[in-house]
Amino acid sequence: MNLFINKKTKFIDLGLMDYKEAWDYQTTLFQSILDVKTSNRTANSNLTTQNYLLFCEHPHVYTLGKSGEEQNLLLKKEDLHTIDATYYHINRGGDITYHGPGQIVVYPVIDLENFFTDIHKYMRLLEEAVIQTLKDFGIKSGRINGLTGVWLDYESERQARKICALGVKTSRWVTMHGLAFNVNVNLKYFTNIVPCGIADKAVTSMEKELSTTQDFELVKTVLKKKLADVFEMEIF
């Protein structure tokens, strides 16, 4: 257990960034936290671990989680260039998803020992921050038992549609990857995949549900505050 609790979390808005570049940056931060934890254990040092909250957008890209099925990409890889998209098989949980402009991608790279040691709670709080954000914009959302993410019409088997996907990686309570929240995203790109490996559920966005393009920066500001609140982070 970390005896030197640090809830201070550095917020970094990466803007529009290539997926691989952002993945590499996450990995660097992730490893730096693990290195501190290793030093504390092996060298009997008392270093405090750092926490980071990254926001970004990506150019069109499909990512497949480590346990995902490649057949859930419905387009041939060699044809991805025709829609200006790229593809990566990555080290998070979950199946295939899409990232693109107009979508808020959040990567918390944090030491959960600074907050709590419960992966289930971590996932539910990520969802909760999005649920509360949507509520502020007049959209009712929630969860579906057995499925991760945030859903609209979540009580309806036929009408349920996903507005936020989750996929994370953890090691020794350090997290990376995170959530993808559809704000003004081009939903046509989801037709090239079986989103998250779920064939019978639709995908939506704030723009579609509210029938108007959203103030992207405002949504980011609200989501940032909700994340800080639910995790009791001290954002700087």
8-state DSSP, 158: T
Q: Residue 167: what residue type?
A: G
Round to whole Å and give the CA distance between 39 and 104.
Answer: 34
| Residue that has been written with the tokens 């945030």 in this structure | 150
Phi, psi of 17 (to 5 degrees): -135, 140
Round to whole Å and give the CA distance between 210 and 194.
Answer: 24
> What's the Rg (C-alpha) of the chain?
18
Grouping H, G, I as helix, E, B as strand and the rest as coil, residue 94 is coil
Yes or no: say if 112 and 45 are a contact pair by the CB < 8 Å rule. no
| Residue that has been written with the tokens 């909700």 in this structure | 226
Pairing of the two strands 174-182 and 161-171: antiparallel
Strand-pairing partners, residue 152, are 161
Yes or no: say if 34 and 174 are a contact pair by the CB < 8 Å rule. yes
Phi, psi of 42 (to 5 degrees): -90, -30
Q: Quick one: tokens of 100?
A: 């693109």
Residues serving a catalytic function are 196
